[in-house]
Amino acid sequence: MITVEHLTKRYGPVAAVDDVSFTVEPGHVTGFLGPNGAGKSTTMRMICGLTPATSGSARVLGLPFTALANPGRRVGVLLDAGSQHSGRTGREVLTLGALMTGVDRRRIDTTLDLVGLTEREAARRVGQYSLGMRQRLGLASALLGDPEVLILDEPANGLDPAGIRWMRDLLSDFASRGGTVLLSSHLLREMEAVADRIVVIGRGRVVAEGHKDDLLRQAGAFARSTDDAALALALRQGGVGVEELATGGLAVEAEPLDVGRAAAAAGVVLAELRAADSRGLEDLFLELTADDARQQTRMEVPA
């Protein structure tokens, strides 16, 4: 369990993190989602005791991170995969980690296996690693102490789609065994694939929090019918916002059930009706973080 209460970080007149409160429950993968500069890394660094808070507090497993005895055995942290010593081999990095935390060295092979780094890759210097391999090694370091909590800043950076799926399975499995996972990303699709709960941050403030499915529900519905114009008219007459999509179909600001009812009342035959996909969530995300000038550009969503 991670508890963040009224956490604030000011750099001069700038509030990088502004009165942020949320909890990260065991048994779930919680995504910390926000555009560049929203305050994700600063919040995570404060949770881990690496950046002092201006005010507010953060607790991990009931204590401030710095008050945990041998935190490496209880909390796995990956904040910057790029900062690993480039002159050491992957195995050396893990061996040092094991020595520092008192972990049985046999755990190194188990962990390498867990993150999918081969014997040969582990014998190479980190300086020769791709970004994806560094992320895997960073995850291995985080998992080495068999922790109860994982705090991961942009762990999917540099992973290919198969790597993202692998990470989703690994983190879901960790959470299903009662683990607590907090991971950040500025990529909505990535977050959608990996997290089941989401905390959205924009300009240093939490702007939405909840189960991914509930957030998706708020994002509306997609409908395609035999007469989209008639359906759009019926919905608008009922006070519901509708956008006729260039690619066909309607993006509707209502739940699928309400769209179905409106279609039935208007005598329109539905060909497709579902909760909005990530496009809907993306729109919601942009709306929630729209205050941020950086969000004049669209959120980065890979094709």
Cα torsion through 255, 259, 264, 265, rounded to 10: 100
Q: Residue 151 CB, nearest distance to ligand ATP (Å)?
A: 13
User: Which is nearer to ligand ATP, 16 or 259 (by Cβ)?
Assistant: 16
Residue spans of alpha helices (H) in 2-124: 40-47, 90-101, 106-115, 119-122
Nearest of 19, 23, 8 to residue 182 by alpha carbon:
23
Instruction: Check residue 289 for interaction with ligand ATP (CB under 6 A).
Output: no
Would you say 191 and 29 are in contact if contact means Cβ atoms under 8 Å apart?
A: no
State the Cα–Cα distance between residues 151 and 183, nearest whole angstrom: 6
Instruction: Check residue 41 for interaction with ligand ATP (CB under 6 A).
Output: yes
Q: Residue 39 CB, nearest distance to ligand ATP (Å)?
A: 4
Q: Among the candidate windows 34-42, 56-64, 98-106, 267-275, which touches ligand ATP by CB under 6 A?
A: 34-42
State the Cα–Cα distance between residues 188 and 258, nearest whole angstrom: 26
Site for ligand ATP (CB under 6 A): which residue of 26, 37, 56, 260? 37
User: Which is nearer to ligand ATP, 15 or 270 (by Cβ)?
Assistant: 15
Site for ligand ATP (CB under 6 A): which residue of 42, 135, 289, 295? 42
Site for ligand ATP (CB under 6 A): which residue of 39, 138, 145, 179? 39
Distance from chain centroid for Cα 280: 17
Q: Residue 297 CB, nearest distance to ligand ATP (Å)?
A: 13
Report angle CA 208, 209, 211 to the nearest 5 degrees: 130
User: Which is nearer to ligand ATP, 9 or 28 (by Cβ)?
Assistant: 9
Site for ligand ATP (CB under 6 A): which residue of 34, 132, 249, 256? 34
Report angle CA 147, 24, 3 to the nearest 5 degrees: 95
Q: Which of residues 165-204 bind ligand ATP (CB under 6 A)?
A: 186
Q: How many residues bind ligand ATP (CB under 6 A)?
A: 11
Cα torsion through 6, 176, 280, 206, rounded to 10: 0
Q: Residue 167 CB, nearest distance to ligand ATP (Å)?
A: 18
Instruction: Check residue 242 for interaction with ligand ATP (CB under 6 A).
Output: no
Sign of CA dihedral 215, 217, 223, 228: negative
Site for ligand ATP (CB under 6 A): which residue of 20, 24, 29, 38? 38
Site for ligand ATP (CB under 6 A): which residue of 16, 164, 187, 200? 16
Q: Is 154 exposed, middle or buried (0-12, 13-18, 19+ CB in 10 A)?
A: buried
Q: Which residues bind ligand ATP (CB under 6 A)?
A: 11, 16, 34, 36-42, 186
